[in-house]
Structure 1
Amino acid sequence: MSAHTTASGSTWAPSSRKPPLRARLLRASWRGLPAKRHDIGWEPGLVVPAADGSPLVTDHYFPRAEGDFPTLLVRSPYGRGLPWSPMYGVLFAEQGFHVVLQSCRGTGGSGGTFHLWRNESSDAQATVAWLREQPWFDGKLGTVGPSYLGYVQWALAREAPPELKAMAVQVGLHDPYALFYEDGALRLDNSLAVGAGMTYQHQGTGPFLRAMLRLRRRVRTAVGTRPLRDGYAPALGGGIPWLDEVLAHPDARDAYWQGADPGEAAARRTVPTSLVTGWHDALVDQAFVQYARLRAAGCETALLVGPWDHTSALQQGWPEVFTESLAWLRAHLCADPSGLRPTDVRIHVGGGQGTWRDLDAWPGQPAVTSWFPASGGYLTRQPPTDSAPLASFRYDPADPTPSVGGPLLSGAAGSRDNTALEAREDVLTFTGPPLSEPVEVVGPVSAHLRVHADTGYADVFTRLCDVDPQGRSVNVCDGLGRLRPQDGRTARLTVPMSATAHRFAAGHRIRWQISGGAHPRYAPHPGTDAARVDATEFTPVRLTLHADSALLLPQGAEDGQEVTAAP
């Protein structure tokens, strides 16, 4: 192929190879995407030196056209094949970007040893130094990608190079601790999913599928083993050193986690950032933290929240997610703002068919209403007259309350029928009357609880549900809090329950669900002061809810504009 001339007058002789056939076939199967602008080429197997000199294997996708094009850096621990090659290499190159798709250290053929976060900032900076030497690099750099591919974006932005002009973080991670723990409780389901994904996905489709099938066959044994620490290795095909370290450090204040979260420092660099998440994404709360940090720093920021979980955002939601990210990157790297939304925030309001709504900011200033539990399992707006014990249940960690749906990494995520769960004796429910008119809950949900634990050691899982006229109860949002002995056996605690945008239709009822856990989403509390992963003896606990507890619901949205179509 003949040499290309850039706008600056430099020339380079690109490879004449086309992207892999499997990538082109998958790309051809997608519908609802913007029309391609360029034929593209592919330079596979480039070697970029990491910060320590380890070879980072890198593929380069590019438009087959004369002139300058900005560059997108996509760093992945999951390999450079499907689906990353067509989703990022092919699609974005077709739209007029050089795409540098790189395997992180210790994955996908790259040298060195993978660690969950320690090398990403320095290796990203080393890659930018390599980019500066390439004849096709025009000095304008963006980043894009989901999940851990979002983490490496924050890691680069911690000390943002001057070339970095925009970031597009999709269902992204910035805080590894919060991926694995909630208020000190191990997110067991997430830990197993991340262990399998990080270990096998970069090896290719075959090894990854076999690993996931093995995990599915052995997950029940893995989560039921005592001590729990010994259970994961057979399910994941062997021990994983970095996962052992995670399990050994459940305290966020431990020095082990120091420097793991680059997001706060990155926000101060004010790189224009687009954030995409879903209401049932396992990382949805991290997206809201990212948004709040960026807004506080005065950074140009956009937020899209769809009706997705972590996986479906990149499958069913991909046309919306890709279009959103493409418009943002074009606006900031190509001086073309024509595809941007009219407002900074777009959310999907669930319930019924659901609608999209444009907002100037998230979450605005919604009015917060309190709902109170009452005798007989009722939920009412009438405040209690005392703080007397109201209802109790026995939680047995040897037979833990199961998890149903919610924000997970696994395929069990999302809204699910909670009817069978709520029939268990270890689950309390308080249900309001049929609504005479619709009620919208838009914003962060929380619970104020007064709870007595007869052992002094317990978790409290609290969930908001929507009950339809037929009695089917579906989860909306939830959260978990922990009772600590220093708080006394009767303690007050506030449990954040994430955020939502949900419309309870007329005739539906609002339900508050309370239990002692959600397994295997969270490792069960052993009922003692033993670490969850080391406990071999379990002690049942009786939990008693007092009447002066409350469910706090933010109602409505300010200045919202309905939009009839997806973004």
Structure 2
Amino acid sequence: MSSRTHEAVAEQAWAPPAGKPPLSSRLMRATWRGLPAKQHEAGWEPGLVVPGGDGSPLLTDHYFPRAHGDFPTLLVRSPYGRGLPWSPQYGLLFAEQGFHVLLQSCRGTGGSGGVFDLWRNEAADGRATVSWLRAQPWFNGTLGTVGPSYLGYVQGALASDPPPELKAMVVQVGLHDPYALFYADGALRLENTLAVAVGMHYQHQGVAPFLRATLRLRRRLRHVTTAQPLRAAYVSALGGELPWLEEVLSHPDAEDAYWRGASLLESGESGKSRKPGKSREPREPGESTERLRVPTALITGWYDALADQTLEQYDRLRRAGCETTLLVGPWTHTSALQRGWPQVFAESLAWLRAHLCADPSGLRPTAVRVHLGGDTSWRDLDHWPPVTAATPWYPLAGGLLTRRAPTGSAPVTALRYDPADPTPSLGGPTLSGTAGPRDNRALEARDDVLTFTGPPLTEPLDILGPVSARLAISTDTGYADVFTRLCDVDPRGRSVNICDGFRRLPTAEGASSSQVTVPMSSTAHRFPAGHRIRWQISAGAHPRYTRNPGTGDSPLDATTSMPVHLMLHTDSALVLPTSSEPT
């Protein structure tokens, strides 16, 4: 223990208060199935005041086992309030399993004092909370953290200068790089940005205000996302201007000083965010070991909007020699905490017991477990990604996809993209209710979507790892985006999206020809025998990303637009990581 011995703690007799957790939390708890049996009755101390890094009062609820004993503590810090679903999922459930749980509202949210300033105060307020913890008679000096999304970001902020008491973290569908949450290659992730804004601004106010705001955004989504200019259109849907969102919209460049220190994925003290598409220098094992020493469990889903960030964080921690584990399920950002919750909770509990309670009995034998799509099975691996062979598939005129390399760089086919009728987005890793795998046939029937389809497979094909596209593409204006997607086509013709990627083509005055590589995220998927591989290409996915006006103007400020023609050439390729490990 860092500040007190166990004997000193024992001298301060602490009797658990008699308060029960909120009725709403107990009712929700009763609806869950497939969870471990509780070990203790849970108690509740609401509304504790903890001084933040600047002295702001941070409202905090304390959940605990209603039993005498030496229990570790979990810190859960949230900008989304302390009610549903956080109270039952984290406060109640983990207290029943033998943990003290502090559920705290971040600065400027949920009744806490100060002003919420996206990401900037989390490290200081986390450290201040640990300082307060050291004076509590029930704190035994062993601390862990757990939580999803932004609740994952605050864990990493605390671990950037970890207190000695911090022994383990569980980051579920977690945020690691705020810039990448809002932007892809400089293009605004429009739909996600609006969803984040509603959550940040309303969820901590309670269930009713949050639901009303969500419904209002849904009703006005088309108007907001098609407005010209786009920049201030969100105000009517969100009920007013949001200062932090105005800052986000005003800084689309990852190299801007505004984003300095935001990313938890960067090395060095500056924390400067890198520009998407710019490769990071490989890390040497052991680099920044002091800052990356906290054992960390990472959990995500293949259709999680933050999956790429989680996979990058896993690689970062592994290279630094940090003890880490990875679970990737068939989930979206929200379904991981709903349909996937029994498995997510079991994984989290096992990790925390192993590192806070010296009980490794629940840990799985391998560092990585991933769900294999198309087969509904799980694959246990020693590391991610596994050893694979980069296998290119090439587009041919007539919409064919082949393993045979072409000769030359002749045009394959062209498409016309009209910003006035933008190619719509469908499914994929978003924060919307339509996230995940979807039937793409209606989308692929549009004139502004190209598809290239391989022959029926004669045997199953497994791909595990990062997918990418090499595009040789030319445009008539020099201002265009490209969206590329991998799909699995079954014998009935149903085309289901597996993974995808987006790039803004290099701009130039007049006609432009580009050779670009588009990262298409990672996946673990089996194409069964009889299925076909499909490569889908378009010039946008709206409103997932802002539509490119085709004029060179900012998509947020443009008031006019013009159609763009794109030509795809034969030396383009879809590159699949074909598994070389036994099935």
TM-score (norm 1): 0.96
Farther off after superposition, 176-185 or 487-496: 487-496
Distance 1:376 1:186 in 2: 33
Measure how far apart 1:559 and its partner are. Answer: 5.7
The answer to whether structure 1 residue 558 and structure 2 residue 581 are counterparts is: yes
Structure 1 segment 196-275 matched on structure 2, within 5 A: 196-264=198-266, 268-275=291-298
Distance 2:226 2:165 in 1: 50
**1:398 alignment partner, one of 404, 411, 420:** 420
The two structures, once aligned, show a CA RMSD in angstroms of 1.3
The answer to whether structure 1 residue 549 and structure 2 residue 578 are counterparts is: no
Task: Map Cα deviations across residues 444-478 of structure 1 (whole Å, 9 max, x no partner).
Answer: 00000000011001100000001111111110000
The answer to whether structure 1 residue 435 and structure 2 residue 457 are counterparts is: yes
Distance 1:539 1:118 in 2: 39
The answer to whether structure 1 residue 295 and structure 2 residue 313 are counterparts is: no
Corresponding residue for residue 137 of structure 1 = 139
Measure how far apart 1:486 and its partner are. Answer: 5.0
The answer to whether structure 1 residue 365 and structure 2 residue 367 are counterparts is: no
Task: Map Cα deviations across residues 166-219 of structure 1 (whole Å, 9 max, x no partner).
Answer: 000000001000000011111001100000000000000000000001001000
**2:360 alignment partner, one of 337, 355, 359:** 337
Corresponding residue for residue 147 of structure 1 = 149
**2:553 alignment partner, one of 507, 530, 533:** 530
Name the aligned partner's letter for residue 316 of structure 1.
R
Q: Are the counterparts in 1 of residues 479 and 508 from structure 2 also a CA contact under 8 Å? A: no
Corresponding residue for residue 276 of structure 1 = 299
Corresponding residue for residue 24 of structure 1 = 26
Distance 2:223 2:487 in 1: 30
Structure 1 segment 2-151 matched on structure 2, within 5 A: 8-151=10-153
Structure 1 segment 431-470 matched on structure 2, within 5 A: 431-470=453-492
Corresponding residue for residue 563 of structure 1 = none
Q: Are the counterparts in 1 of residues 9 and 138 from structure 2 also a CA contact under 8 Å? A: no
Name the aligned partner's letter for residue 451 of structure 1.
I
* Aligned partner of residue 229 in structure 1, secondary structure: coil
Q: Are the counterparts in 1 of residues 387 and 579 from structure 2 also a CA contact under 8 Å? A: no
Cα distance, 1:557–1:287 mapped onto 2, change above 3 Å: farther
Name the aligned partner's letter for residue 341 of structure 1.
R
**1:160 alignment partner, one of 162, 166, 190:** 162
Task: Map Cα deviations across residues 128-174 of structure 1 (whole Å, 9 max, x no partner).
Answer: 11001111111110000000000000110011111100000000001
Corresponding residue for residue 564 of structure 1 = none
Cα distance, 1:296–1:205 mapped onto 2, change above 3 Å: same
Q: Are the counterparts in 2 of residues 48 and 55 from structure 1 also a CA contact under 8 Å? A: yes
Distance 2:544 2:580 in 1: 31
Corresponding residue for residue 526 of structure 2 = 503
Corresponding residue for residue 277 of structure 2 = none
Corresponding residue for residue 279 of structure 2 = none
Distance 1:246 1:346 in 2: 35
Q: Are the counterparts in 1 of residues 16 and 67 from structure 2 also a CA contact under 8 Å? A: no
Distance 2:18 2:66 in 1: 9
* Aligned partner of residue 356 in structure 1, secondary structure: strand
Distance 2:580 2:335 in 1: 26
Distance 2:242 2:499 in 1: 32
Q: Are the counterparts in 2 of residues 38 and 96 from structure 1 also a CA contact under 8 Å? A: yes
How many percent identity over aligned positions?
A: 71
Q: Are the counterparts in 1 of residues 16 and 68 from structure 2 also a CA contact under 8 Å? A: no
TM-score (norm 2): 0.94
Q: Are the counterparts in 1 of residues 292 and 317 from structure 2 also a CA contact under 8 Å? A: no
* Aligned partner of residue 11 in structure 2, secondary structure: coil
**2:327 alignment partner, one of 304, 326, 344:** 304
Task: Map Cα deviations across residues 84-142 of structure 1 (whole Å, 9 max, x no partner).
Answer: 00000000010010000000001000011111111111011110110011111111100
Distance 1:485 1:149 in 2: 37
**1:189 alignment partner, one of 176, 191, 203:** 191
Distance 1:231 1:398 in 2: 17
Structure 1 segment 485-524 matched on structure 2, within 5 A: 485=507, 489-524=512-547
Distance 2:478 2:153 in 1: 37
The answer to whether structure 1 residue 384 and structure 2 residue 386 are counterparts is: no
Distance 2:177 2:158 in 1: 14
Number of residue pairs aligned between Structure 1 and Structure 2: 555
Name the aligned partner's letter for residue 13 of structure 1.
A
Distance 1:437 1:6 in 2: 66
Measure how far apart 1:7 and its partner are. Answer: 6.8
Measure how far apart 1:557 and its partner are. Answer: 5.6
* Aligned partner of residue 364 in structure 1, secondary structure: coil
Give runs of ≥4 in structure 1 deviating > 2 Å. 5-10, 262-269, 485-488, 557-560
* Aligned partner of residue 162 in structure 2, secondary structure: coil
Task: Map Cα deviations across residues 213-260 of structure 1 (whole Å, 9 max, x no partner).
Answer: 100100010001111112111111111111111011100000000011
Corresponding residue for residue 440 of structure 2 = 418
Distance 1:135 1:528 in 2: 64
Unaligned runs of 5+ in 2: 1-6, 268-287
Measure how far apart 1:6 and its partner are. Answer: 8.9
Unaligned runs of 5+ in 1: 561-567
Distance 1:218 1:485 in 2: 32
